[in-house]
């Protein structure tokens, strides 16, 4: 599977964006041989299972220029790196507590010459600052995740929707979201036709500012 699947789903990409998306596979294959951060099966379907999946968030919201986004538990750089390519005027901070994963992310960011990405090797509770949105791919159940990111959402919203969490996850989410009445669940099949997305969802949870 090639980067064409990205171009088909997002036909208005610039040449710079296309070039960076095309380069992703080569960079990940090279670094994954040295430091395993993506399973072999997933590497073969990198554009479907990781890149396009990450860009489900871009189907839901257009981050405004100058926004700040925190990617918690970024792993090999998802969803942060694809989103950083897609939104070049938005600042992304990618956080993971596992050093070898951040090493790979750093190398990919450097290889892509992305200037809108900062990486931090730490637990999210330890990092300073506040952000417009916090993104992640299924690193913990929502109550745990909300606890981790307490106090990290900016007070002022510059988007049409309130600042909060954008969370990519699969399966039945009703149990873990039952205490979050404002949470909205979106099926990624609304955006993508590929079978892979049949059980995949994105959760939007607006959060009140806590100073």
The count of other CB atoms within 10 Å of the CB of residue 136 is 26
pLDDT of 166 reads 98
The CA–CA distances, whole Å, from 156 to 63, 83, 133, 147 equal: 14, 22, 11, 21
This prediction's pTM = 0.96
Contact status, residue 13 vs residue 21, Cβ threshold 8 Å: yes
pLDDT of 138 reads 81
* The pair of three-digit structure tokens given for residue 22, joined into one six-digit string: 């095309």
Tell whether residue 125 is among the known ligand binding residues: yes
Is position 181 within any domain? yes
Out of 7-11, 44-48, 56-60, 115-119, least confident range: 44-48
Looking at residues 104-129, what average pLDDT do you find? 96
Q: How many percent of the chain have pLDDT more than 70? A: 99
Span 56-72, pLDDT tens digits = 999 999 999 999 999 99
Is position 64 within any domain? yes
Contact status, residue 180 vs residue 173, Cβ threshold 8 Å: no
What is the rounded CA–CA span in Å between residue 88 and residue 101? Answer: 22
Assign residue 60 the CATH number of its domain. Answer: 3.40.50.150
Tell whether residue 124 is among the known ligand binding residues: yes
Higher pLDDT, 131 or 36: 131
The whole-chain average pLDDT of the chain stands at 94
pLDDT of 1 reads 74
Contact status, residue 156 vs residue 9, Cβ threshold 8 Å: no
Span 126-183, pLDDT tens digits = 999 999 999 999 888 999 999 999 999 999 999 999 999 999 998 889 888 999 999 9
Tell whether residue 137 is among the known ligand binding residues: yes
Residue 211 has pLDDT above 60, yes or no: no
Give the phi and the psi of residue 55 in degrees, each rounded to 5. -80, 0
What is the rounded CA–CA span in Å between residue 91 and residue 166? Answer: 16
Looking at residues 72-97, what average pLDDT do you find? 97
Tell whether residue 73 is among the known ligand binding residues: yes
Is position 202 within any domain? yes
pLDDT of 208 reads 75
Residue 186 has pLDDT above 90, yes or no: yes
Compute CA 93 distance to the chain's CA centroid, rounded to the nearest angstrom: 10
pLDDT of 91 reads 98
Looking at residues 39-68, what average pLDDT do you find? 93
Is position 211 within any domain? no
Give the phi and the psi of residue 180 in degrees, each rounded to 5. -115, 90
The count of other CB atoms within 10 Å of the CB of residue 115 is 9
Looking at residues 195-206, what average pLDDT do you find? 96
Q: How many domains does the chain have?
A: 1
Tell whether residue 108 is among the known ligand binding residues: no
What is the rounded CA–CA span in Å between residue 54 and residue 142? Answer: 18
The residue segments making up the domain with residue 199 are: 3-206
Contact status, residue 59 vs residue 194, Cβ threshold 8 Å: no
pLDDT of 144 reads 94
């Amino acid at each position: 599977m090639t980067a064409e699947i990205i171009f088909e789903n997002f036909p208005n990409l610039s040449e710079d964006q296309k070039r960076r998306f095309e380069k992703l596979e080569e960079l990940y294959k090279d670094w994954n041989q040295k430091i395993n951060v993506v399973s072999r099966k997933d590497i073969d379907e990198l554009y479907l299972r990781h890149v396009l999946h990450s860009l489900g968030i871009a189907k839901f919201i257009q981050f405004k220029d100058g926004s700040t986004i925190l990617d918690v538990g970024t792993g090999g750089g998802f969803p942060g790196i694809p989103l950083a390519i897609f939104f070049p005027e938005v600042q992304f901070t990618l956080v993971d507590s596992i050093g070898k994963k951040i090493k790979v992310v750093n190398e990919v960011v450097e290889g892509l010459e992305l200037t809108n990405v900062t990486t931090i090797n730490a637990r999210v509770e330890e990092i300073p600052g506040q952000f417009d949105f916090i993104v992640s791919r299924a690193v913990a159940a929502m109550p745990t995740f909300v606890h981790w990111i307490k106090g990290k959402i900016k007070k002022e919203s510059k988007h049409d929707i309130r600042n909060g969490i954008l969370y990519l996850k699969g399966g039945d989410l009703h149990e873990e979201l039952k205490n979050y009445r404002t949470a909205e669940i979106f099926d990624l099949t609304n955006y993508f036709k590929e079978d892979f997305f049949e059980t995949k969802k994105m959760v939007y949870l607006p959060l009140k500012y806590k100073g």
